[in-house]
Amino acid sequence: MNHILHEEKLKDLEELANRIRQSLIEELVEAKSGHTAGPLGMADIFTALYFHVLNHDPKNPEWEERDRLILSNGHICPIRYAAMAHAGYFPLEELKTLRKFGSRLQGHPEREKLPGVETTSGPLGSGLGQSAGIAYGARMDGKKFRVYCALSDAEHQAGNLWEAAMFAGNNKLHNLTGIVDRNNIQINGMTEDIMPLEPLRAKYEAFNWHVIEVDGHNMEEFVDAVEEAKAIFEKPTVIIAHTIPGKGIKEIEFDFKWHGIPPKPEEGQKFLTELRTLGGKITGEHE
C-alpha cells in the first residue's frame, strides 16, 4: 500500500466504497439501531484508509509495525466494521451481529472484543489525546508506524480535544495525522447553529498544526493529503475532510435527524436499490 493512486485503483476503490455502503445499510437494518448519516459520509475515507493508505495486516491485527487508526467518534463504528469486514478482519456475515448481545461489534468499539480495533471509544473528545500519546510513545521507541485519528467535527466542542491538540503541536508529532469529518451536523442540529466551530482551520494552525482541506468524497484528494502529511516533519497534520452526511442516499443527505437512527426495513431496501443503481453508474463512468 502507500503508493500513488492510479486511475484503475481509484475505480476499484469507488466501486468498493459503494459496496461497503451497502453492507453498512444491511447491518443497520439488522441491528434496528445505530447511526446512519455519519457512517455513510465517511465511507469513502474508510475505504481509502483500509484499502490504500494504512500499513496493516488483517491476518495479523496485532502486528507491531502496523499503522494505528484511532476512531475518536466511536458512534460511526458501523462504517469501520463494514470496511474491516471487506478487508478480511472477520467474515461479512458477522456484520449482522451489530449491537447484539455478546457480539464483538458493539455500538461503540471495544478494544478487547475485536482484534484490529485500537481503542475503546465512546466519550467524545478523547481520541486525539489517545492518538497523541501513541504517537509520542512511538517516537520515544523509534517506531516508524504512523497514527491516524478519525474525529467528528462536533466533538471539537469538547475542551479535552484542544488540550490534546496543544500537546501534539507542542511536541511536533509529525507521525500523527488527524482526519476531521467536517459534515456540519450533530445529533440536535447543525454545528454552526449549536456551537460554531469556524474558523476551524485557523484554530488548528494556531495550535501549530499543518492543515489540509479536502473533499471527503474525492479519494484521490484524500490520498494526496495523506502523502503530503508524511512530508511534514516539524508538526502534526490535520486533514479537514468536507463530507456530506448520508452521502449516497439523496433523501437523507444533510438531514441531521439521520445522525443517530437506522433505516427501517422498507427504507433499507429503498436505500440499497439507490446504492446499487449508483454502483452501476460508477462502473459505467470508468468504462
Angle between helices 7-31 and 77-87 (to 10 degrees): 120
pLDDT of residue 285: 66
Q: State residue 229's pLDDT score.
A: 98
Q: What is the mean pLDDT of residues 129-155?
A: 98
Mean of the per-residue pLDDT values of the chain: 95
Q: DSSP per residue over 180-198, as a string?
A: EEE--EETTEEHHHHS---
Three-state DSSP class for residue 79: helix
DSSP assignment letter at 239: E
226 part of a folded domain: yes
CA 201/CA 197 separation, integer angstroms = 9
With respect to residue 37, please indicate whether it lies within any of the assigned structural domains: yes
Q: How confident is the model at residue 4 (pLDDT cuts 50, 70, 90)?
A: confident
The Cα–Cα gap between 248 and 22 comes to 10
Cα 265 to the chain's mean position, in Å? 25
pLDDT computed for residue 124 by the predictor: 93
- Specify the number of domains making up the chain: 1
- 99-112: pLDDT as tens digits: 999 999 999 999 99
**Residue 2, domain member (yes or no):** no
pLDDT (mean) for 76-105: 97
152 located within any domain? yes
Pair type for strands 176-182 and 147-152: parallel
The per-residue pLDDT for range 208-240, each reduced to its tens digit, is: 999 999 999 999 999 999 999 999 999 999 999
160 lies in a domain? yes
pLDDT for 5: 78
Is the residue at 253 inside a domain?
yes
Range of the domain at 171: 7-285
Q: Which residues pair with 210 in a beta bridge?
A: 237
Burial zone of 85 (CB within 10 Å; 0-12 exposed, 13-18 middle, 19+ buried): buried
Any idea what the CATH number is for the domain that residue 53 is in?
A: 3.40.50.970
Whether 1 is covered by a domain: the verdict is no
Mean of the pLDDT values across residues 53-72? Answer: 98
pTM summary value = 0.95
Residues 6+ apart with CB under 8 A from 131: 68, 70, 72, 147, 148, 149, 164, 176, 178
Task: State residue 2's pLDDT score.
Answer: 46
Burial label for 176, CB within 10 Å (0-12, 13-18, 19+), is buried
pLDDT at 98: 97
Phi and psi at 178, nearest 5°, equal: -90, 145
Q: What is the pLDDT of residues 249-283, one digit of tens each?
A: 999 999 999 999 999 999 999 999 999 998 877 77
- Answer whether residue 209 is part of any domain: yes
pLDDT (tens digit per residue) in 159-214: 999 999 999 999 999 999 999 999 999 999 999 999 999 999 999 999 999 999 99
Q: Which of 80-84, 115-119, 122-126, 216-220 has the lowest mean pLDDT?
A: 122-126
* pLDDT mean over 117-124: 92
Burial of 202 (0-12, 13-18, 19+ CB in 10 A): exposed
